[in-house]
Structure 1
Amino acid sequence: MKRPKRLRPPSARERAALIRVARREAPADVWLSGGVVLNVFTGEWLRAEVAFLGRRIAYVGPEAPRVGPETRLVDVRDRVLVPGYIEPHAHPFQLYHPWTLADYVLGRGTTMLIADNMMLFQLLPLPAWERLMAAFSAHPVKFLWWARTTPQAHDGRLSARYAPEHLAALAVHPFVVQAGELTDFVPLAAGDEAALARLSPFIEAEKRIESHAPGASYETLLRLALAGATADHEAIDGEELLRRLRLGYFAPLRHSSIRPDLPELVRAALEVPAAWSRLMLTTDGATPPALTDGFLDRLIALALEAGAPPAWAYRWATLNVAEYYRLDDAVGAIAPGRLADVNVLASPSEPTPLLTWVEGRPASELRLPEPAWERLVPEARRQKVRPAPLRPDDFLPPGAPGAPQPIVHLHSDVITVLAERPLPVRGDRIDPAALGGTLHLAALVDRDGRWVTAAVMSGLGEGSLAVASTFTASDDVLVLASSPERALEAYRAVVERPGIVWRIGVGAAEEAGFLPLPLFGRLSDLAMPELIERTEAFVRAMRKAGFPHRDPLYMLLFLSSTHLPRVRLTERGLLSVKDGRILSPVRRLSGPAAGGTA
């Protein structure tokens, strides 16, 4: 398996130089003196001297290294040294983008992100995505990627992105270490040869395969293992975790903004210590407000609070990830020849580092400007939404007198269920007088302005809403509103400037806000602290209006994503995911635009 240059083994010349430092024939570049080092192989906490030469660790042991006039001596007595943390399952496009996420997590001890490619891979030609992978590789945090093999929404516009020749190119790309996550897992579990063939280039290239099988039975998980799956992060309780471990899966333990399951999963894992070497920790694409208290450092702290032995809690975020991705000769341990990615902690119970070393240098000395998006991908900041010729009535779903009307009920942040009941109609559409209380309008408007799918929705709360977002899984525009007039107002605002726009209120009080998303209409260019503040304002406004779930940002993303149950807004209409029925048809548009610029 070909690796990026930063992760390739040292040359003979480099190995000879490392041995000279270990023999004290040559001085170290950096000497971390007197600290307690976590040996992730044995679980021991041992006082040791640690010496770096260039990017690598040359010595770990009881003896002081040779020093020279240029040796950087760092006193770490009363400190604890652990490896840099590795996130095995990042989604670096949750309003933030890869560079701003990496900037933020580096300060909290994460030195490698193994990340989802889906969002930009779907938007860009393959050569442009390859340029971006190369650009992101310049960040001090090491980026590796997984490659999606199918889109996350049943959308004919996306199928060309997943052509066999594109998947074959990604399978052998040095920055790609895994295929997945496999959200469309049903054909794989059924043995569909065409679906299985999409994984073949990755299996032949000896890459890992991660499934996405929420709620799957033992039998389904067994069949997915036969299809090629090597890991799955979707366990939400002890029984689901055991199913995966018994079948030989690696199992990332998830704690995200919509599935904060880590304490329960850790308590279940403690019952099967023989399986601890198959566990990892993941934030699974937590949205910005959920990152206020940290990243993997926070997950390690939660694992410790749940009773995990400290050495194992750290190993789940370091060595186990490196072993899973077959990178343990380079990262995941403070050991000879490994890259010098080291976190200096106040104590084992405090995983947020005082100082992080990345390839032999303090992280604080390694801040770099983010890539020039316009140069790498000129389309990055171009307007992505063409205004649709909409009138207020276009946001009203079709209806017939006395007939049951499909209602999309938001059961959780991302799971919907179908409710049906008659609603008053006016002409051939739902009467706006039916709205109010717990009923709102939801609409998905084509990014090219050609169609709209409208529905009645419940489960958003009881406040007045006018929300529009270009942050969606299908890359179209989602609108949520209390009336068709408010829906059109919000739509027009977001067509003018892509992002998330909101006017949300209870009674006479109303809060308005706007989060610009200038990159592809999906990503902010704000630094993480400011992005957290801006997104928290939207979350607070939704909760004041009665939104009953944890994360309305994920709701905006996933209402058009067909990998989740049970009802979704799509280009074909309101879709019943399980059986493929169209519950309410799409409306085709024509005529003058509703405002905005193409």
Structure 2
Amino acid sequence: MDIRDRILAATGEVKADTIFTGGHIINVNTKEILDRDIAVKGGYIVGIGDVSSLKGDDTQVIDASGRYICPGLIDGHVHFESSMVTLSQFSVPALEHGTTSVVIDPHEIANVLGRKGIELVLEEAASLPLNAFVSISSCVPATAFETAGAAISAEDIDSLIANENVVGLGEMMDYPGVLFGDENKLSMIRAALRERLVIDGHCPALSGEQLWGYMAAGISTDHESIEYEEALEKLRLGMKLMIREGSAAKSLDRFLPRLIGEGISLDNVFFVTDDKHPSDLMEGYMDVIVRRAIAMGLSPMDAICMASINTAKHYHLDNLVGSISIGRKADLIILDDLDTFRIDSVYAAGKLVDGLSPSYEYPDLVFDTVRFPQIDASDLQLKTDPDRDYRVSVISVLPDLILTEKETATLHSDGEGVLVPDLDNDILSVAVIERHGKNGNIGLGFIRGIGIKNGAIGQSIGHDSHNVVVTGDNHSDMALCANTIREMNGGICVVSDGRVVAKLELPFAGLLSTLPVEDVEKRLNELHTAVKSIGCDLPAPFITHSFIALPVIPSLRLTDMGLFDVESFSLVSPIEDE
């Protein structure tokens, strides 16, 4: 809609498409609740107050009497790929639950398809009723200690940054690169700053001079704080604090009550999910976080601000979304009740969200990304001298966290020199298989905390380079898992006793299904039942499993190149006493 048309509509020379009457407007600009009517033309708000002069014969009138009208909610940082569905399918439950805008960093797709993948996401985003803004992935790959399907260069950033849906540079995970002056990373940052775009951060446990240096580069947010004191330090130094409440990592309980209790201003704090699993997405989205925040003692007004205007201001989007204001998009949530944030209906650009059925045609290249050769059980075995014990490093996973801890254990080498998992102590074999067809690497190690007995699990979702991650108590089932993923051209599977007991095909970049979220959730429920039947009780097993290969989060990881110690930022041997 052209600006001239908005002016004509606002002054009554042309009539509104829709008028909402009788509602209580949640005004996040002044933190007031106002009894006003709202007029909409061409998807934009053109009148607030007495809008009777804007009503024409064809104007639709929506009676919101007794209800509250809230601005559409915003997720300030999400990798939609973790929903395991395409952006079009992701938009359906998002909109139905009142999330009308998202800021996505598509670095999962970028790690597989590179710049072309980001271009495809931008094209698809432009076709949707969901406002899908993009922060361009800055760390593809995240480090030099893994094999990704593609890389994003400073030149790629320059070519993508002018797109109108681009709002920033995605999370700068390579904080050592920033601190040591890596010219490629600094060039990316300079390009974003030239365009007055924000630069999102990713710096768990960083503090003091290192944090100062990182922030001095112009990096302005973080969603990876581990402890409250760390989050508060970043907030005090001028970072925007993203409170993350996703499917795998959750910080709302740790941060929000103390922020409220200590009277800390929340103007520079907003909510994000980072990762949203299909089953969680079906139950709700940003509305769930708002309800939980209110239940924790935050006022409904402040909770809504942290899921709307605060986010919009950070990304310089408050002239378009984030509030019920003249000239902004008519992204509106009609609430039956404010204190419980019970949603009656949702409007995106003034149109009722109801019965969405997206369809989008994807090029063939997105369905041909899993290219590793057939795997034999022997490929997944760590071999040493036979019939002796070895001290090994063990990755220890933690429920509800993507952090890992570093442990050691003693394992026995069998008569053929194969180091054998120790089921009594929940120590399993784990492998990361390079799947982009570049070098055939297989990283091998051991892991505790998965709990599998008599089977294996595997997936082609392996943050961030998305190589195949396979874990099990025996190498035959692990190999069957890997080969099943190869046959599916990407996906997740559970194997037990030499038999595939559940699987989910994810053929789009080995990450996504083109099916609706409901269908994917059904398959995932079958996978969760299957993984529980072989002993894994993790609350989000496949999300937790997918982060085993991420070499930028403490403390011990496994990539296709081998075992990686994040604290020393180096590859290490899994066998300590060689």
User: What aligned pairs does 1:323-472 form with structure 2 within 5 A after superposition?
Assistant: 323-364=313-354, 367=356, 369-373=358-362, 377-382=363-368, 384-388=370-374, 390-400=375-385, 401-412=388-399, 413-426=401-414, 429-432=417-420, 438-447=426-435, 448=437, 450-472=440-462
Moved more, 183-192 or 41-50: 183-192
Q: Secondary structure at the match of 2:248?
A: coil
Structure 1 residues 63 and 419 mapped into 2: Cα distance closer, same or farther (>3 Å)? closer
Q: Which residue of 2 aligns with 1:499?
A: 491
Residue segments in structure 1 that go unaligned for 5+ positions in a row = 1-5, 586-598
Q: Which residue of 1 aligns with 2:284?
A: 294
Moved more, 130-139 or 79-88: 130-139
8 Å Cα contact 2:462-2:468 kept in structure 1: yes
User: What aligned pairs does 1:563-574 form with structure 2 within 5 A after superposition?
Assistant: 563-574=552-563
8 Å Cα contact 1:208-1:325 kept in structure 2: yes
Quick one: which amino acid aligns to residue 409 of structure 1? S
Quick one: which amino acid aligns to residue 424 of structure 1? H
Q: Which residue of 2 aligns with 1:172?
A: 162
CA distance in 2, matches of 1:64, 1:187: 58
Structure 1 residues 434 and 72 mapped into 2: Cα distance closer, same or farther (>3 Å)? closer
Quick one: which amino acid aligns to residue 430 of structure 1? V
Per-residue deviation at 1:75?
Answer: 0.8
CA distance in 2, matches of 1:480, 1:533: 23
CA distance in 1, matches of 2:448, 2:147: 29
User: How many residues are aligned here?
Assistant: 565
CA distance in 2, matches of 1:58, 1:265: 38
8 Å Cα contact 2:432-2:467 kept in structure 1: yes
8 Å Cα contact 1:501-1:515 kept in structure 2: yes
Quick one: which amino acid aligns to residue 124 of structure 1? L
Structure 1 residues 14 and 271 mapped into 2: Cα distance closer, same or farther (>3 Å)? farther
Q: Which residue of 1 aligns with 2:46?
A: 58
**Aligned with 1:32 (options 1, 7, 20):** 20
Q: Secondary structure at the match of 2:293?
A: helix
Quick one: which amino acid aligns to residue 367 of structure 2? R
Query: Is 1:512 paired with 2:497?
Result: no
Quick one: which amino acid aligns to residue 443 of structure 2? T
Q: Which residue of 1 aligns with 2:8?
A: 17
Q: Secondary structure at the match of 1:215?
A: coil
Query: Is 1:490 paired with 2:481?
Result: yes
8 Å Cα contact 1:92-1:101 kept in structure 2: yes
8 Å Cα contact 1:214-1:234 kept in structure 2: yes
Q: Which residue of 2 aligns with 1:242?
A: 232
CA distance in 1, matches of 2:308, 2:470: 41
Q: Which residue of 2 aligns with 1:549?
A: 538
Query: Is 1:47 paired with 2:32?
Result: no
Q: Secondary structure at the match of 1:297?
A: helix
Structure 1 residues 426 and 355 mapped into 2: Cα distance closer, same or farther (>3 Å)? same
Structure 1 residues 245 and 420 mapped into 2: Cα distance closer, same or farther (>3 Å)? closer
**Aligned with 1:77 (options 56, 61, 65):** 65
Quick one: which amino acid aligns to residue 406 of structure 2? L
Per-residue deviation at 1:121?
Answer: 1.9
TM-score between both structures, scaled by the size of structure 1: 0.88
Per-residue deviation at 1:188?
Answer: 1.9
Structure 1 residues 65 and 34 mapped into 2: Cα distance closer, same or farther (>3 Å)? farther
Per-residue deviation at 1:155?
Answer: 4.5
Q: Secondary structure at the match of 1:512?
A: strand
Moved more, 378-387 or 76-85: 378-387
User: What aligned pairs does 1:180-199 form with structure 2 within 5 A after superposition?
Assistant: 180-192=170-182, 194-199=184-189
Quick one: which amino acid aligns to residue 551 of structure 1? A
Q: Secondary structure at the match of 2:52?
A: coil
Q: Which residue of 1 aligns with 2:78?
A: 90
CA distance in 2, matches of 1:66, 1:253: 41
Structure 1 residues 421 and 274 mapped into 2: Cα distance closer, same or farther (>3 Å)? closer
CA distance in 2, matches of 1:463, 1:156: 29
Q: Which residue of 1 aligns with 2:294?
A: 304
Identity, % of aligned positions: 23
Q: Which residue of 1 aligns with 2:123?
A: 134
Per-residue deviation at 1:431?
Answer: 4.3
8 Å Cα contact 1:172-1:202 kept in structure 2: no
CA distance in 2, matches of 1:556, 1:242: 30
**Aligned with 1:253 (options 219, 224, 243):** 243
Moved more, 143-152 or 199-208: 143-152
TM-score between both structures, scaled by the size of structure 2: 0.91
8 Å Cα contact 2:395-2:405 kept in structure 1: yes
**Aligned with 2:99 (options 110, 129, 136):** 110
**Aligned with 1:576 (options 540, 565, 568):** 565
**Aligned with 1:475 (options 460, 466, 469):** 466
User: What aligned pairs does 1:582-593 form with structure 2 within 5 A after superposition?
Assistant: 582-584=572-574
RMSD across aligned positions (CA)? 2.6
CA distance in 2, matches of 1:64, 1:36: 17
CA distance in 2, matches of 1:571, 1:237: 30
Per-residue deviation at 1:159?
Answer: 8.9
CA distance in 1, matches of 2:326, 2:406: 57
Structure 1 residues 246 and 107 mapped into 2: Cα distance closer, same or farther (>3 Å)? same
